[in-house]
Amino acid sequence: MSGFRTLTQVVEHDGTRVLAVVPARGGSKGVPGKNLARVGEEPLISRAVRALRSSSRVDEVVVSTDSPDIGAVAELAGASVLPRPDELSGDAVSSEAVLLHSLDMFEEEHGYAPEVVLLVQCTSPFIATETIDKVVSQILDDGWDCAFTAVRVHEFLWQRDAHGAAVAVNHDAAVRPRRQERTPEFRETGAVYGMRVPGFRAARHRFFGRIGLIETPAKHAIEIDTAEDLAIARALAATMEPFAIDLDVDAVVTDFDGVHTDDRALVLQDGTEGVLVSRSDGAGVARLLAAGVPMMILSVEENPVVAARARKLGVEVLHGVGDKAAVLKTWLAEQRLDPARVAYVGNDLRDLPAMAQIGWPIAVHDAQPEVRQAARLVLSRTGGSGAVRELADLVMQAVERRKEQ
């Protein structure tokens, strides 16, 4: 992972600079791998980076993480990555501590302090660029010390007392005014917080001085803390962000066991192994090669059957590989391929580091849950039963569309 680097042209705002920091730990107990979970077509961390990079008010986007996988995805999305020290990687570490560390590193490298720092939580998947712009504007243009995003709420809230009895919190239980008669209340969305840096350093907290509030639509206010939240966000994205698959890639890389096979092996009396493969998959690979789309099989297995199948298909193979991610990175460089335009198909946990390096991580239908979650696309077919053919057909559809344009 790299330190700070300038990714976009610096935009001057009366001499001020705006630094956006996205904290993204690798560990998550509520939803394992949460920051790399996909909503719509992108991982959560990529969605946040994309929204920030689209803002004309943000000069630099930094992702603070202890995870190489998150760092790789963040860089692919266009962020700078700041490796987080061990003492800032625990469950109890505050976002303020991460911000202060990021500011210290920024000032050490650049020799000056930004005027405004944004704290952006990628677990809020529907952050709109215009919302980010409004937070910055409220501070820089309107003179507030800090600002945050919130959603208008109308609920009558209750608590239980020490004896378990219900007690009204924000209303008189004997009076039930209509919504339009109540003073509006707002709930933090947890999405975007903006702070003037000198005031934040003095307060060491995100709220100080004159506090501004940016109201956001309810449909943008979901925050992912549980698996149920993630399911709701994905359902919303399906309606808000209809996604048509356009698998326009320059190369295809696949695992072998569990992708070209059903992950089972036939062990003979002499100890040799055999596998079952799909002729349909072979036909799909032939179409790719005929169209000039290179393909490579990347496998941990040293079994000769892997090389034999690759020879039959006429594709390059690297097997007996210990570190798939390192080998893939070298191969991409040798082939002069843009990682963003490469597909990788996997099924098991050992595929995750390689999947994180490229633009199109893809899972077969029966892949491990963590692999499905990290995938940009989950195929409808299982390994060894037409998954490779399904992938090849999708790539060929994109090839045909390019020919028609």
Q: List pLDDT tens digits, range 338-373.
A: 999 999 999 999 999 999 999 999 999 899 988 988
How far is residue 359's CA from residue 337's CA, in Å, rounded to a whole number?
11
| Residue of 95, 123, 119, 121 whose CA lies nearest to 30 | 123
pLDDT tens-digit readout, 63-79: 999 999 999 888 888 88
What fold does the segment set 251-404 form as a domain? Rossmann fold (3.40.50)
Q: Are strands 251-254 and 360-363 parallel, antiparallel or unpaired?
A: unpaired
Q: Where are the domains of the chain?
A: 18-153+183-240, 251-404
Q: What is the spatial distance between Cα 299 and Cα 312, in angstroms, rounded to a whole number?
A: 16
Domains 18-153+183-240 and 251-404 share a fold: no
- Give the sign of the dihedral formed by CA 369, CA 375, CA 377, CA 382: negative
- Per-residue pLDDT tens listing for the chain (405 residues): 445 443 333 333 343 489 999 999 887 766 888 899 888 878 899 999 988 988 888 989 999 999 999 998 888 888 899 999 888 877 778 999 999 999 999 999 888 999 999 999 999 999 998 999 999 999 999 999 999 999 998 888 899 999 999 999 888 888 888 888 888 889 999 999 999 999 999 999 999 999 999 999 988 898 999 989 999 998 888 777 755 567 899 999 999 999 999 988 888 777 777 788 888 899 899 999 999 999 999 998 877 888 899 999 999 999 888 899 999 999 999 999 999 999 999 999 999 999 999 999 999 989 998 898 888 888 888 899 889 999 998 999 888 877 766
18-153+183-240, CATH topology level: Spore Coat Polysaccharide Biosynthesis Protein SpsA; Chain A (3.90.550)
Q: Give 323's contacts (C-beta < 8 A, 6+ positions apart).
A: 353
What is the reported pLDDT for 134?
Answer: 94
**Separation of CA 42 from chain center:** 6
Rounded distance between C-alpha atoms, residue 17 and residue 10, angstroms: 8
Q: Tokens 């409808």 — which residue?
A: 380
Closest CA relative to residue 99, chosen from 239, 199, 236:
199
